[in-house]
Structure 1
């Protein structure tokens, strides 16, 4: 059995990586911190044109009908370039949730717009205090107990919240059930919410892999140029050990994320455990890589003048999103010991 990505998947990933390299350089990430909206609509539209935004939308609604195995390499590239937009929420979570669980009228209302990029969706499941990118969203999918609702953005009252990552816009939200459409209720809603959570956690883990790989690359470049005692500091054994520790963590986390993608795409019986292992490993890896990168750069790496701080703060924010490493360890222990 071949567990490698196909040539088509790798070509798609490489095309997206090239696009982000051109359209989302560090200057664009810096702009997203300072701009009032912080989102470039032309990038989202171009990604929709490429098929990225509609990747998980069924073909019947104008999408590509692909799955998590196709999506996670692309999300890794989004993490590598610290792209500030709700790809996880719209593409990884909301689109498949609507496709699988929504009545036909709701699916027909929203999925074509997601596929063509005209609809941006975000999500709030039970236990999530804030909503990402509500200020640009057209649709909020929200859970209340054993019910899932679709709420048009004009019926959502939102309040901005502070985030460690200035490019990641968070909001507390309020809405009335009278303005919402019921997607699903009862046990079916709880199952749909659990699956949505798993998709969000796995997608975030993929972004953390990309963030970690980029922080290692930035640090290797820095220690190759920075000199002490007449030689690059990267030649010092202690610095080599820091980078080796960082790469080791990412190397162990990466296949766990791939396994989670495979489990989600194929409805594995152990998908909860696979996703939690992926998110735990990816969060741990990002924490170690961020610490090693900052220690190797020194204080300059934390200043707002240096690009590294964008990746540091994004990794800290995402490591605690969709369950932090400690939460997912407890979940794995529960799944194993109570099985």
Structure 2
């Protein structure tokens, strides 16, 4: 079995990286954060023109028909550049939910087409998240209610804005009164769809966290080279090297868990819950270590507004509990591997 990415997948990742490097430098992100909405319609339009919103929409609805594996690459770039937009919520998580709806479901194809062209924002109200991102700009909100899937417009939902430690996060507590008119599918169908949605949301967080970890490592390495003490770059001191080596180790151990989880989701693996929770924990841990050691390398100045490190550090902190807390994901892992009949061992990883 070939575990490497294809040339097309790697070229895609590199193209997105070059695009975001140009269109979303840190100084631009600071300007976006300070606006009332905290979002840039121009950046969103450019991302749609690059095909990012069409990535996982089926070709029949004008999309590119790519899968979770492609998103495991893209979400890393969204994290690496700390993109202040909930595009992954619409183009990945919501698109995945809409694709899972039974064929012929009212407005399904139209919504997917609008996602592909970038003309709609969708917020996701899953019960695992007490706060919902970007409700203030959403055209529609997909809401879980006792396993059912409901959709309401922003005007039909009440919401109260909630401040976040990450200035780019625009979170709200929503209040929705589900009705028969707002219900898209019942609980018999919806419960499975919401389970997949939870996994895609957690995988999106894992990918962004891994990208954040890599960016914080790069910033710390650059600073360790430039900052001098006793006439030498601080990166030449063993204590600093050990800190940065710990970050590298965390990132390298987290990468395969992310890709394994993406593979599981893309192939409807019955143990997807296990792999996604493993990826979420490993990638968030890598980001946490990168933030902690990055601050130790930078010193107190790393917390200041002028330092880029604080932007990525705060995003990592804010995402840590999104789409499931650490306790939630640890419990899912325990429920799987501690079963009496658990399939444990190398031969179960990808099948015989």
Q: CA deviation at 1:200?
A: 0.6
Q: CA deviation at 1:48?
A: 1.2
Q: CA deviation at 1:180?
A: 5.4
1:150: which partner in 2?
151
Task: Check whether the contact 2:128–2:324 (CA below 8 A) recurs between aligned residues.
Answer: no
C-alpha separation in 1, matches of 2:224 and 2:293? 12
Higher mean C-alpha displacement, 112-121 vs 154-163: 154-163
Q: Deviations 1:196-223 (Å, cap 9, x if unpaired)?
A: 0001101110011100000000000001
Q: CA deviation at 1:325?
A: 2.8
2:321: which partner in 1?
320
C-alpha separation in 2, matches of 1:109 and 1:79? 29
Unaligned runs of 5+ in 2: 343-352
CA RMSD of aligned residues (A): 1.3
**Secondary structure of 1:183 counterpart:** strand
Task: Count the aligned residue pairs.
Answer: 339
C-alpha separation in 1, matches of 2:197 and 2:262? 13
C-alpha separation in 1, matches of 2:40 and 2:204? 22
1:206: which partner in 2?
207
Unaligned runs of 5+ in 1: none
2:29: which partner in 1?
29
C-alpha separation in 2, matches of 1:129 and 1:215? 28
**Secondary structure of 1:135 counterpart:** helix
Q: Do structure 1's residue 41 and structure 2's residue 45 form an aligned pair? A: no
Q: CA deviation at 1:46?
A: 1.4
2:243: which partner in 1?
242
TM-score (ref. length: structure 1): 0.97
Q: CA deviation at 1:88?
A: 2.5
Q: Deviations 1:293-332 (Å, cap 9, x if unpaired)?
A: 0111010001112111100000001111112333211210
C-alpha separation in 2, matches of 1:242 and 1:290? 11
Residue 195 to residue 297, structure 1, CA distance change in 2 (3 Å): same
C-alpha separation in 2, matches of 1:146 and 1:265? 23
Task: Check whether the contact 1:151–1:179 (CA below 8 A) recurs between aligned residues.
Answer: no
Higher mean C-alpha displacement, 100-109 vs 157-166: 100-109
Q: CA deviation at 1:179?
A: 8.7
**Secondary structure of 1:104 counterpart:** coil
1:220: which partner in 2?
221
1:175: which partner in 2?
176
**Secondary structure of 2:4 counterpart:** coil
C-alpha separation in 1, matches of 2:328 and 2:80? 25
